[in-house]
């Protein structure tokens, strides 16, 4: 099995790297690529869905990005210890009717010794916003290094 560095136990620096790698991957909106960072038997809690395994996680992500269009995400490290990381996040997207949303949430992650995420527990709330109130304005894909993070944006 291939390792996915950085590996636990995490330091502040390696936990921050892991968070940015996850943000970058999710901003690709490529489910088949994203699930490779998760263990084969990964267990998720995502809103009202509880996928188990990469195949179910990938199916969830495929459904997600059929609904959540022009998705842009920012994650921020909240806490870490050993093989666990807690993050807070926000992402902006619109539905097929053109209504924009900012979704806010928290995730708790647990990793195996190979650096694969075995557990992902997400709590997410959606807030309708006006297009003029959007803050995540970079081109689709990776957030630029000079784009503010959540704390800098007051989120």
Distances (CA, A) of 41 to 52, 57, 141: 6, 10, 28
Residue 66 falls inside a structural domain: yes
User: What CA–CA distance (Å, rounded) separates 23 from 154?
Assistant: 19
Question: What's the full length of the chain, in residues?
Answer: 155
Residue 54 falls inside a structural domain: yes
User: pTM value?
Assistant: 0.96
Residue 153 falls inside a structural domain: no
Residue 121 falls inside a structural domain: yes
Residue 145 falls inside a structural domain: no
Residue 87 falls inside a structural domain: yes
> What is the pLDDT, as a whole number, of residue 1?
63
Distances (CA, A) of 87 to 63, 74, 96, 108: 23, 10, 29, 7
Domains of the chain: total: 1
Instruction: Provide the domain limits for residue 49.
Output: 12-133
User: What CA–CA distance (Å, rounded) separates 121 from 47?
Assistant: 9
Residue 96 falls inside a structural domain: yes
Mean pLDDT by 10 residues, the chain (155 residues): 92 98 98 98 97 98 98 98 98 98 98 98 98 97 97 97
Residue 51 falls inside a structural domain: yes
Adjacent-strand bridge partners of 121: 45, 108
Domain of 108, CATH number, reads: 3.10.450.50
> What is the pLDDT, as a whole number, of residue 33?
97
Please give the backbone phi and psi of residue 141, each rounded to the nearest 5 degrees, phi first: 115, -155
């Amino acid at each position: 099995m291939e390792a996915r560095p950085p590996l636990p136990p995490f330091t502040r620096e390696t936990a921050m790297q892991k968070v940015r790698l996850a943000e970058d991957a999710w901003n690709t909106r490529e489910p088949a690529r994203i699930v490779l960072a998760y263990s084969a038997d990964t267990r998720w809690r995502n809103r009202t869905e509880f996928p188990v395994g990469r195949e179910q996680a990938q199916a969830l992500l495929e459904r997600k990005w059929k609904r959540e269009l022009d998705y842009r995400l920012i994650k921020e490290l909240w806490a870490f210890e050993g093989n666990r990381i807690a993050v807070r996040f926000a992402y902006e997207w619109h539905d097929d009717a053109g209504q924009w949303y900012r979704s806010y949430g928290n995730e708790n992650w647990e990793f195996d010794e190979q650096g694969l995420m075995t557990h992902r527990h997400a709590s997410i709330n959606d807030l309708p916003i006006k297009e003029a109130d959007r803050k995540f304005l970079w081109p689709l894909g990776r957030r630029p290094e000079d784009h503010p993070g959540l704390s800098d944006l007051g989120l």
